[in-house]
Every structure is written in structure tokens, then in C-alpha cells.
Structure 1
């Protein structure tokens, strides 16, 4: 039976086990009957829903501006996605340090207020007839930078709101995220009817609502460390050392990063071209197919809530690598519309389970003192894989074609399944929520 705690942490936990519980520990050990009654959790979900609505609209907006308005070729879109995403990789580690050192609630409020500006910038550029490859890239880059600080802080707040019910909270938050993404994509898909400016203004408004809801949550008191402040680079290094000491965390991060290169990379680059260039769809068709994708993720995550907590989430995570290869094989056949919809729905289910299980393992195993930094590394891998995958796959698609660009993802998915079962502790990991005490 695999435990996520490193040897040093297990010794500390064993030493603490003999101490009498403080009053607040005894109270917090009795969770409410429903995660929806956890203190602060509804406000967290509301803020997460509002901002996810905005960020999901961004996905379609950027893709359509590049492909449908500016008519950029695949390699050009891949380069733009790399420019947009890569700077955030380094900033997200800094964001993780900030989430551990400061009140993540206050940090989120500032980040959300800044995030209202890039959509307004695009409105101004549109009115001035200055929408170009580089101006769209710049506006998207600004929002990406904000996301680098928002993601680890939001994850840190989730852990504090969830208490001991991490798996349920992560699954509920993920399910709601996918629901809201469907709504956001549906709104953004109407940009040709209601106008680009209206969609961008709604995006900015949704982020502002998120800031107001986070403001309603109580601030988190972060104890100040005695002595001089640790440099940010040293704090990042300490977080990486903590990851190395936890094999389950380390291998889950590696597997998820490689998975996302070909999973998210294919979704963000190949999928829009597949829907528009191969199947001849417009912005509305692309939006509908994106809704189908996220509907799959919504359905499977709400279904997962019935089985929480999962005893062995690692096994489900690795099984998804194998089933993704089968889904990609179906796309390679260039099926008709009914099978295309089915494959897209199944891909969404696959992505939903992969996201929930990998994130649950990391959030369960991450030591509280390093949680913001470890989650930042997780998000660096997940979000950083998107531009890296888009960059690599953009050049592959330019050489072999749009549909054939899915072959690397098929091969990588099978390889990850074998790697995870044979060479890592992921398969044998047992959740702390189901482990015998």
C-alpha cells in the first residue's frame, strides 16, 4: 500500500499522534453532512464559476480570432500559443510561493481585478481596427500572466475550504468548472451574432463578479516565518525538494505533464482546425462541438461524486491514458457527424476523469507547508503543456496534416499507460481518505 507522505513527514505525523487534540482540531474533525455546507465553499465555487466562465470564453475567442478572423496557419497558431503560455510557466512558480506566503484571498482579488483589463483592451483594439496577430497575442498573454497567479492561489483556497473532504471538493469544483465552460463557450459561440464587443464585455464583467465573491470569504491568516524572509528562488527550490521526496506526487506530475502535452495540445490546436478545416464548420459549429466535449466532462464528474472518495484514483488515471488512445484512433477514421459527436463526448469524459484524478492525488499528498508551490508545479505542467503541445503539434500538422497530427498523442497515451503501471507507484496508490487508520 503506497502512502504519499515522505519518510520524514511520516515520522513527524507519528510524533504528533500522541499529543492531545486541541479544541479546534476536535471540531474540525467532524465534517458537515454535505460539502456544499462547508464554510466558505459556496463563495469559492461561485467565484470559481464566474472566472471560469470568462476564461472558457477566452479559449474560443482566441482560437476564432486567429483561425476565423486573421486566417493564421497551424504553425503560426502554435507559435502564438507558445508565446501566450510559456511566460506563465515561470510566473506560476512565483505565484505558488505567493500563495504560500500571503493571504491567497487578497492575492486573488488583485489578480481578478487586473484580469478584467485584457478583454477591455481587445474591445479598444477592435474599435480602432487594430486587431492583428501580435495585438491578439499580447492581450491573450496579459490574461495568461494573470492566470499564473490566480491558479495556485485558487487551489490553496480550495484545500482550506474543503477540510478533510478533498476528493469530493475537487470533483465538485471540477464538475462545476466544466458546466460553466459549456455556458461560456455557448456565449462565445454567438460572437458572430451578438458581436465581439458584447462577448468581451461579458467576459470582463464575469471576472469582476468573481472578485466580489472572493472578497466575501474570510481572510486567511498566514503565520510569518521567524528570521529573515526566504528568497523566492529558495522557496521554489524547497517545493521541488518536497516533490522529490514524495514518489507518488513526482510520478503523477511527470505522467500528467506528458499526458497534457498531447491531450491538451491536441485539444487546443488540432481540435479547432479539425472542426473548421476538415469538417468545414463555422464559429457556431466549433462552439457546439466544444460544448459537447465539456458536456462529457460534466457528466462524468457528477457521476464520480457518487463514488467519492475513490480508493485508488491512480488506477483510473492510468486507465484513461489507454482509453484516450482508442478515442484518437476513432478520430483518425474521419467519422461522420454522429460518431464525431460521440468521440468528442468521450474525449471530454476522458479529460474530465484525468483532470480530477490527477489533481486529487496531488492535493491529497501535498504537504500543507508546500501546498501552494506543489500545486503551482502541477499547474505549470498542466498549463505549460498546452503551449508546448500546440507548438510541437503545429509543426507536425503542417507536415503530415490535421488528422494525422493525432498519431503522436495516440502513441504517447499507450506509452504512458505502460509506464505508469510498470515503473511508478501510481497504480498502487491508496487514497488517504480510504486508507485504514
Structure 2
């Protein structure tokens, strides 16, 4: 199940990454809390800070993919991870010394967003160079396991630390955590990396990436499906808060419980995904349909406890969908295009939030259950539509045709000596 961890370079990377991810989740909590402290609890200020950190994804993620194809991904990661650590250290020092102001937080949120927007496609496309194609699906699943494990541990540590010694030391702790991932990348055996040749710098490389995806119906179908489900079905940072407060009359601890339970589900889903060696479109489609159906059911649950329990299978289906989509995209593209395609993938995965967030919020004003139920319905409809398209195009065989192909393959595997004279 953990085959990719047998690879020296990936083992170094994963060891540092889990430490860094815990620090990142700690900083997310501390950053939100600091904004609320500086503004006497202003939700508008908190939303603006989140927008500043998210906006660069729309502007820079595809350019990050271009850089990933042009440059040495390992060296690029060293610089980007170091820059993220410096931003965390700067915010921590400003906070600890008592001079932090709201505009400081805004500026550093924007810088963090810029570096993260470039770092994400570089990091995603670097995984295959560490582990190779055979272990890619396993490595993607382990990355998801680390992310969701940190999602459970990080906020818990941050909450205790903020109460004990304040937000500033959380930022400094996050800065220190980057030493792990930078050190891991630095100590890699470059001779064991399965690198692709860098693409020479030319005009129009970003557009060539877009044209490449446009003329690949398989990639286009997967990305469109990811866009709709991520935009309308995966707004749990908002839909769970609405359910906890407006439907069940709970407080922040109720929202925290629902968030923790879905994190448990995503961790379990990533663990299960790690057992698969190659992604399958049938698993991808099935996970999308199941995710939508479970999300609808969770929105109809009469109590918060039942809703929370439903979040576990919802998280499993969501993570199965995400990891399969990621691995499918990476394995389907040529190495020289992988960075640009992953930049586009991250854009479609995150770029719909400015549309889906306000729309789901408006629906939540009408009915607190509406966002999660409608999000599940949209997920089911677009997945079934994608399934029909893939079947008609032959990417997923119909059950009867699949059985016929299997029977034909079995017949072809029979040696001539085993055939009857009349069959020769």
C-alpha cells in the first residue's frame, strides 16, 4: 500500500512534507484568528484576506505550469518552498514584536498566494519524477493522506498554541517546519530522478498548453467534470458552517466537529486510494456519482450527529474522486506538457470558487440545507453526463462490450496446441 515510500527520494520528500503541512494548517488557523483580533471580529476583513490569498491562483497557476516545464523542478521547488517559509517568518516576527497591522497581513496573504499558486503545479508535476509512472497513483494518494492527516492535527495544535502563547509563535513554528521539506528536496539523489528534458523558452507556451488540452477530449472531459464538482459540490468550508449554525443552531465547535469528520473520511479515502496502482476511469466516474448521492443524503439528515457521520463516506468518495482525477491527468500527458497541464488542472480545481461560493451562499440564505443538496445534485448530473460521453467515445466500454472483449482476449491467449483441429 505504501510502495512509493520505498523510493529514497520520495521518502525524503514525504518526511519533510508531512511536517510542513502540519505547519501550514496551523498557520491557516492562526492567520484567520489574527485578522479577527486586529479587526474586532470583522467577517468582511477575514473574507478579504482569504480572497487575497486565493486570487493569485487564478492569475498565476498556469504560469507556474509553464515554469515547471521550462525549468528544473527540484531547484524551483527549493526556491519556492524557501519563499513560503520566509513569508511565514516575516508574519511571525511582526506579530511577536507587537507591530503587526492589518495591511501587513494582507500583503503577506497576497505574497503567500502568489508563491503557492506557482508552487502547486510545480510540486504536483514533480511527483512523477520522484516515483515514476508505476508508483504515481500510490504517491498521489499518499500525498492526499498526508494533507488530510495534517488537516486533523494542525488546527488542533494551533488552537492550543494560540491560547497558550499567541498567534505569532504559530507563524514562526510554520516557518521552521519548511526546513523539513526544503532539506528533503535538497538531499535528494538527483541521479535517481526520472526527469524529462526542460522545454526551451518560447513564445506562446501557455497558449500551447491550453490548445493541447482543448484537442484532448479525454483530458477536457475529466477537467470539466472536476471543475463542476469542485465548484458546486466541494464548498464544505462554507456549506458545513451554514449547516452547523443555521440548520442545527450550533456554535464553532459544531462546525469543527463536522470539519473533523469529513477530514477523517478524506484520510480514509486517500488510504484506500493508495492501494491502487493505476487509475481507472470507471472508478473516477463511480466516485463522482457516489459523492453526489452521499452529499444529497447528508443534506437531508435530521440531526447534526447523523450529518457528521455521513461526512465520513462523503469524504471517502470525494478523495477517491480527487486522487483518481489527479493521477489520470498526469499519466495521460506527455512529460514535456505535464507542468502546463497540471497548472490548468489546478486552475479548474480551484478557479470556480469565486462563482460557486457566492452562489452557494445565496442559496444558503434561502434554505440552510440547499447548498449541500444542490451541490450533490449537480455533482451527480454532470458525472452521469460525463459517463455517457466517455461511453459513446469508447473510453469506458459498455458492460456487454467489456465482457465480449474479455472473452476475446481469453480466446486469443489459448495456444494453437490446445485448439481442436476444427478450430484451426
Do these two structures clear the TM 0.5 threshold for a shared fold by scoring above it? yes
2:116 is paired with a residue whose SS is helix
Deviation of the 1:223 alpha carbon: 4.3
Q: 1:408 and 1:151 mapped to 2: Cα distance?
A: 30
Deviation of the 1:417 alpha carbon: 2.0
1:52 aligns with: 21
CA shift in 2, pair 1:253/1:62, >3 Å: farther
Q: 1:331 and 1:77 mapped to 2: Cα distance?
A: 28
2:366 aligns with: 400
Aligned partner of 2:381 among 394, 399, 415: 415
Segments of 5+ residues of structure 2 without an aligned counterpart are: 398-405, 410-424
CA shift in 2, pair 1:47/1:297, >3 Å: same
2:238 aligns with: 269
Q: Report whether the alignment pairs 1:212 with 2:178.
A: no
Deviation of the 1:38 alpha carbon: 2.1
Q: 2:63 and 2:19 mapped to 1: Cα distance?
A: 24
1:153 aligns with: 122
Aligned partner of 2:154 among 159, 175, 184: 184
Deviation of the 1:320 alpha carbon: 2.9
Deviation of the 1:251 alpha carbon: 0.8
Question: Deviation per CA, 1:181-238, whole angstroms, max 9, x where unpaired?
Answer: 2222322343553332232222222223211211112446764667xx303xx11111
Deviation of the 1:41 alpha carbon: 1.3
Q: 1:308 and 1:186 mapped to 2: Cα distance?
A: 33
Q: 1:89 and 1:322 mapped to 2: Cα distance?
A: 28
Aligned partner of 1:241 among 198, 208, 211: 211
CA contact (8 A) 1:186 1:288 kept: no
2:133 is paired with a residue whose SS is coil
CA shift in 2, pair 1:236/1:400, >3 Å: same
Question: Deviation per CA, 1:118-166, whole angstroms, max 9, x where unpaired?
Answer: 333443247547554x654443322221111111111122011121322
Q: Following superposition of structure 1 onto structure 2, how do residues 109-120 of structure 1 map, counting pairs within 5 Å?
A: 109-120=78-89
Deviation of the 1:42 alpha carbon: 0.5
Question: Deviation per CA, 1:11-60, whole angstroms, max 9, x where unpaired?
Answer: xxxxxxxxxxxxxxxxxxxxxx9322224110122233233223333444
CA shift in 2, pair 1:176/1:395, >3 Å: same
Q: 1:66 and 1:396 mapped to 2: Cα distance?
A: 27
Question: Deviation per CA, 1:231-283, whole angstroms, max 9, x where unpaired?
Answer: 3xx1111111221232111110111011111233x21223244445654333x
Q: Following superposition of structure 1 onto structure 2, how do residues 266-345 of structure 1 map, counting pairs within 5 Å?
A: 266-275=235-244, 278-282=248-252, 286-310=255-279, 312=280, 314-333=281-300, 335-345=302-312
1:190 is paired with a residue whose SS is helix
1:309 is paired with a residue whose SS is coil
Question: Deviation per CA, 1:72-91, whole angstroms, max 9, x where unpaired?
Answer: 45x77656544431222221
Q: Which moved more, 1:328-337 or 1:176-185?
A: 328-337
Deviation of the 1:108 alpha carbon: 1.0
1:280 is paired with a residue whose SS is coil
Structure scoring higher RCO (CA < 8 A, sep ≥ 6) equals: 1
Q: 2:6 and 2:162 mapped to 1: Cα distance?
A: 41
Q: Report whether the alignment pairs 1:379 with 2:346.
A: yes
Segments of 5+ residues of structure 1 without an aligned counterpart are: 1-32
CA contact (8 A) 2:196 2:335 kept: no
Q: Alpha carbon RMSD of aligned pairs, Å?
A: 3.2
CA contact (8 A) 1:92 1:376 kept: yes
Q: Which moved more, 1:373-382 or 1:407-416?
A: 407-416
What is the TM-score when the length of structure 1 is the normalising length? 0.78
CA shift in 2, pair 1:427/1:304, >3 Å: farther
What is the TM-score when the length of structure 2 is the normalising length? 0.80
2:349 is paired with a residue whose SS is helix
CA shift in 2, pair 1:279/1:63, >3 Å: farther
CA shift in 2, pair 1:164/1:334, >3 Å: closer
CA shift in 2, pair 1:357/1:428, >3 Å: farther
Q: Report whether the alignment pairs 1:230 with 2:196.
A: no
Count of residues paired in the alignment: 390
2:4 aligns with: 35
